[in-house]
Structure 1
Amino acid sequence: MASTEQKMSRMQLTAMVVGGMVGAGIFSLPRTFADATGPLGAVIAWVIAGTGMYMLARVFQSLAERKPDLDAGVFAYAKAGFGDYPGFLSAFGYWIGSCIGNVSYWVLIKSTLGAFFPIFGDGNTIAAIVVASIGIWLFHFMILRGVQQAAFINSVVTVAKLIPILVFIVVLIFAFRMDLFRANFYGGEGVSGSIFEQVRATMLVTVFVFLGIEGASVYSRFAKERTDVGKATILGFVGVTGLMVLVSMLPYAVLPRGDIAGMRQPSMATMLEAVVGHWGAIFVSIGLIASVLGAYLAWSLICAEVMFTAAKTSDMPALFAQENKNKVPANALWLTNIVVQLFVISTYFSRDAFTLMLNLTSSMSLIPYLFVAAYGFIISRRGESYEVRPEDRKRDLIMAAVAVIYTIFMILAGGLKFILLSAVLYAPGTLLYVWARREQKKIVFTTAEWVICIVAVLGAVVGVYGLATGLITI
């Protein structure tokens, strides 16, 4: 397939952002927010999350324009700013976190079907695992046929899955009752904790629903115009943020907060059912399945692309830099789906597979985000690449600083448990880096990188000990 046929338009890049962001999380927002807080706390949470992620989106936009030679930005920026091993850790963390996120999609699909077909249970029964496994490999062989074809399908699915969300919003606007909204404003009966604690309880959820904001940046090598990468990132971010705020806020004006907090997930389906009847639950459930499958497609593409690009720049073994005749990174895709398959099988032994996968995905993704924000801060502080439009430097410095503070705050908010679980994945993953360095006959670690590696290994040892003794529960 010719390279010109592989190029993506601005709308396709925007669809990659929207497709990555609008996945499972948005369908669970009504209950998730109502369980923790009222409209006041929700507004504060969205202001914090929206500001932090907007600043991060602007950092992605600025770097896409000022560092056009750095493709697959998430990991490339970490390497450029902090060295080979941190670059590898960013690529590996982003890749394995995305694989885990893909597992959560399959669990949620089967859990949704479990409401209608008990054989699927909570998404981790044998029947659910078998059906999910079939789905994994159907997507795998479809993607092998070509990135452009998969991107086109993602664009179509992105439009299709937005329909139930828009219908939900319109129905709730017509059902809006100001008296209920006022009664729920401070949380009403049953809400616990200070407003700070209420807001904190929603923050990790906002991280998960914002994952995918970097979709256009990861696929920047396929952009028809480099400037489309930054524009697609901002377009996708603004549009999806608007949808998520409406989905989480409108229910407060339709039902008491306590009733919303008691709904089963996906709560958007239960919420619409309460307003229009049973057809609402079916309608949203169909939309959720389309949404999650679309998000799974987008993230499968992103996973393979990150692994492929890391291999092309010698940060992963050369085996994963090979493409098939359709210009698809086939070996990277095979490894990605083998890992997803293994995690899907492991859900059979998990008590709450979806929550665990969701939290791990958020935790693993925040570390690469921190590298990106820090690199944006470094180059704006140095004035690097600001020969063109030097007047933008101060603005970019402030935005990058806010993005750094936000990502550090979110990593700490996640707690020590998920930092240690992340180390359990990072430490053995380092073997891929050692393999790649040996291939190239290069020194494996510098002195500083040895320190980072030892810290990761020690964290992994503590994490494994915690899991073995029950100090860390999953």
Structure 2
Amino acid sequence: MENEKKGIGKGELIALIVSSCIGTGIFGITSDVSAAAAPGPALLAWVFVGIGFLMLVLSLNNLSEKRPDLTAGIFSYAGAGFGPMGEFISGWSYWLSAWLGNIAFATMLMSSIGTFFPTFKGGQNLPSIIVAIIFCWLLTILVNNGVESASFVNMIGTICKVLPLIIFIVIMIVCFKAGMFTADFWGRVANNASKGTTTGSVWSQMQGTLMTLIWVFIGVEGASVMAHRAKSRSAAQEASILAFVILVVIYVLISILPYGTLDRAQLASMGQPAIGHVLKATVGTWGSVLINVGLIISTIVSWLSWTMLPAETTMLVAEDKAMPEIWGRVNAKNAPTASLMITAVLQTIFLFSLLFTEKAYEFAYSLCSAAILFSYLFVGLYQMKYSSENKEWGQFTIGLLSAAFMFACMFLAGWQEVLLVSISFIPGFIIYYLACRENNHKMTTAEKCVMVLILVLSIVAIWLVANGTITIS
């Protein structure tokens, strides 16, 4: 019989996991999904993405149980399976994804504030960017001085984002019209009710939703970290699966129910945060106010936590000697100052670039989703490697399905974003080279080949951007 220890119970762990995964993405998912797909293809896309992320969660559960000695985040699996270069690629991608996610936070936050102060409407004009940069540096300074999100602050943020979502779901169920929902269930009819949306094959519509659906699942890897706090291993594993199911149900309801209240053209044309605009069109201004107040508070709380995440990532990778020591050096408050400052400078530069981007929020979260696919891919690959070495063929199959899903998303939906992410490895490999010199690590032939391959992809990406094949919009 498994001995229970003091720790978090299953119910509390489920709440923690759900809270950590639900971010700003769910507030904007309605318009992005409806623009890409009709209800039928959207539901099929959820099945596809749900199965793929379930395989990732099962892989993380298995690896956290079998390799409790690997504590440096999910990128430690890449290091264990594929050496320092593997850990660097995974950690660099995770770091990139984390601060790009903050760019999406910034644009969503300013869009919400724009509901009350028209100067910031849209969230990507000059006043919005200046205020977002101020937020970015204030949070960076707070974290650098050792101020991290306390449990009561997280509780406030959780209530502010979950309560409006519950109210939204209830209103959508009450206002749901089956006839409107089934009118063009597969999105094959091009008419006024589909203006500004994708029509045609079911697969092309599914494909158009993938990066959006991946975005709302970013953070699901936190379940394996939180599992170590559970009273028992079995409770942790059950909580991870139950929390994942709850998340899928919430995501599906919020993205699918609006098809039965407004037509696709209306949903697709909604600004951000989309569900605020949906409620305004359905029940009036108070619905929009409710959503935006909750979103503003929860975004600031989430942004505080995610300010520390990129710095923690580089700190852990530096401790494993896959990045230079300066990236992991901490101050008297135990905060990695150099990493925080470098990340804040990059966020500032990227925020100014949004002046030239047509859809800033979508652009930021698409790059964020593409970047984290590299880290998730390594989890599946290491699950395959570890399971084959130990002849655990059931677990090997789970890893195979997880890795195949990540590859599919890279090539089918996010190939342009993946190529853009590859450009970041030009300075990245300089940093890796400095780490190798600092730690007396002689790069292997395989590592050099990987570097050349990724650098070739980055050159191709720059060329495709220059000739207009890839548009930054």
- Would the TM-score normalized by the shorter structure come out above 0.5? yes
CA distance change for structure 1 residues 45 and 471 in 2, over 3 Å: closer, same or farther? Answer: closer
Moved more, 359-368 or 35-44: 35-44
2:262 maps to: 255
Given candidates 277, 280, 287, the residue that maps to 2:294 is 287
Deviation at 1:172, TM superposition (A): 1.4
- Residues 236-275 of structure 1 aligned to structure 2 (within 5 Å): 236-275=243-282
- Paired residues of 1:269 and 1:281 also in contact (CA < 8 A): yes
TM-score by length of 2: 0.88
Distance across 1 between alignment mates of 2:46 and 2:346 = 33
2:454 maps to: 456
- Residues 60-71 of structure 1 aligned to structure 2 (within 5 Å): 60-71=60-71
1:442 maps to: 441
- Paired residues of 1:12 and 1:155 also in contact (CA < 8 A): no
Deviation at 1:10, TM superposition (A): 7.4
2:96 maps to: 96
- Paired residues of 1:27 and 1:266 also in contact (CA < 8 A): yes
CA distance change for structure 1 residues 72 and 41 in 2, over 3 Å: closer, same or farther? Answer: same
Distance across 2 between alignment mates of 1:254 and 1:144 = 46
**Local SS of the residue matching 1:289:** helix
- Paired residues of 1:32 and 1:261 also in contact (CA < 8 A): yes
What does the per-residue CA deviation read over 1:203-238, in whole Å, with 9 as the maximum and x for residues that have no partner?
Answer: 121111111111244678x84768476566434422
CA distance change for structure 1 residues 281 and 90 in 2, over 3 Å: closer, same or farther? Answer: same
2:465 maps to: 467
2:200 corresponds to 1:193: yes
1:387 maps to: none
Distance across 2 between alignment mates of 1:359 and 1:25 = 11
Distance across 2 between alignment mates of 1:324 and 1:203 = 40
Aligned-pair identity in percent equals: 33
- Paired residues of 1:16 and 1:154 also in contact (CA < 8 A): no
CA distance change for structure 1 residues 154 and 256 in 2, over 3 Å: closer, same or farther? Answer: same
CA distance change for structure 1 residues 136 and 226 in 2, over 3 Å: closer, same or farther? Answer: farther
Deviation at 1:310, TM superposition (A): 0.5
- Paired residues of 1:18 and 1:158 also in contact (CA < 8 A): no
2:4 maps to: none
1:30 maps to: 30
Deviation at 1:306, TM superposition (A): 1.1
Deviation at 1:34, TM superposition (A): 2.2
**Local SS of the residue matching 1:264:** coil
CA RMSD of aligned residues (A): 2.7
Distance across 2 between alignment mates of 1:176 and 1:249 = 10
Distance across 2 between alignment mates of 1:354 and 1:458 = 28
**Local SS of the residue matching 1:172:** helix
CA distance change for structure 1 residues 184 and 296 in 2, over 3 Å: closer, same or farther? Answer: farther
Moved more, 320-329 or 101-110: 320-329
Given candidates 372, 376, 380, the residue that maps to 2:379 is 372
Distance across 2 between alignment mates of 1:206 and 1:258 = 20
- Aligned length, in residue pairs: 458
1:390 maps to: none
CA distance change for structure 1 residues 81 and 12 in 2, over 3 Å: closer, same or farther? Answer: farther
- Paired residues of 2:207 and 2:413 also in contact (CA < 8 A): no
What does the per-residue CA deviation read over 1:299-333, in whole Å, with 9 as the maximum and x for residues that have no partner?
Answer: 22321221111011111111222334444334333
**Local SS of the residue matching 1:81:** helix
1:3 maps to: none
Moved more, 81-90 or 261-270: 261-270
**Local SS of the residue matching 2:365:** helix
Amino acid at match of 2:441: K
- Paired residues of 1:64 and 1:229 also in contact (CA < 8 A): no
Distance across 2 between alignment mates of 1:336 and 1:416 = 25
Distance across 1 between alignment mates of 2:436 and 2:109 = 40
Distance across 1 between alignment mates of 2:12 and 2:130 = 32
Runs of 5+ unmatched residues, structure 2:
1-6
Deviation at 1:131, TM superposition (A): 1.1
CA distance change for structure 1 residues 60 and 147 in 2, over 3 Å: closer, same or farther? Answer: farther
TM-score by length of 1: 0.88
- Paired residues of 2:13 and 2:230 also in contact (CA < 8 A): no
Distance across 2 between alignment mates of 1:219 and 1:430 = 32
- Residues 1-400 of structure 1 aligned to structure 2 (within 5 Å): 17-146=17-146, 149-150=149-150, 152-187=152-187, 189-190=189-190, 192-217=199-224, 223=229, 227=233, 230=237, 233-383=240-390, 393-400=392-399
Distance across 1 between alignment mates of 2:130 and 2:9 = 37
Amino acid at match of 1:431: I
Amino acid at match of 1:281: S
CA distance change for structure 1 residues 151 and 78 in 2, over 3 Å: closer, same or farther? Answer: farther
Distance across 1 between alignment mates of 2:14 and 2:153 = 14
Amino acid at match of 1:75: F
- Paired residues of 1:71 and 1:217 also in contact (CA < 8 A): no
Distance across 1 between alignment mates of 2:112 and 2:319 = 39
**Local SS of the residue matching 1:122:** coil
Distance across 2 between alignment mates of 1:377 and 1:50 = 20
Deviation at 1:140, TM superposition (A): 2.1
CA distance change for structure 1 residues 102 and 428 in 2, over 3 Å: closer, same or farther? Answer: same
What does the per-residue CA deviation read over 1:431-466, in whole Å, with 9 as the maximum and x for residues that have no partner?
Answer: 1111111111221x2001100111122222222233
